[in-house]
């Protein structure tokens, strides 16, 4: 199992509104992953955190073994549409 993206205890809040609450998930290389949820459930916010566009309130995000916000500001070799 080659983990490309690892979310550990990821939370994101905007003021008093908690959008993501303690999300932990591994995304393996060579697989297609889908993120589904209702409108306003935090899918886009999670992607923006993974891409380094938004800082996480708590938790860590590792992409290709490097922590976003500490080791790198933006993941290398990551494409998002």
Q: What is the pLDDT of residue 59?
A: 97
Which of 20-34 are b and which e, b meaning 16 or more Cβ less than 10 Å from the residue's Cβ?
beebeeeeeeeeeee
What digits encode the pLDDT tens for the residues 11-41? 999 999 999 999 999 999 999 999 999 999 9
Percent pLDDT > 90 in the chain is: 90
Bridge partners of residue 28, in order along the sequence: 3
Assign 3-class secondary structure to the chain.
CCEEEEEEEEEEEECCEEEEEEEEEEEECCCCCCCCCCCCCCHHHHHHHHCCCCCCCEEEEEECCEEECCCECCCCCCCCC
């Amino acid at each position: 199992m080659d983990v490309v993206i690892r979310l550990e205890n990821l939370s994101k809040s905007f003021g008093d509104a908690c959008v993501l609450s303690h999300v932990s998930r591994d995304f393996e290389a060579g697989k297609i992953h889908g993120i589904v949820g209702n409108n306003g459930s935090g899918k886009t916010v999670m992607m923006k955190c993974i891409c380094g566009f938004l800082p996480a309130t708590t938790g860590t995000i590792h992409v290709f073994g490097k922590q976003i916000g500490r080791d790198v500001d933006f993941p290398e070799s990551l494409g998002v549409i």
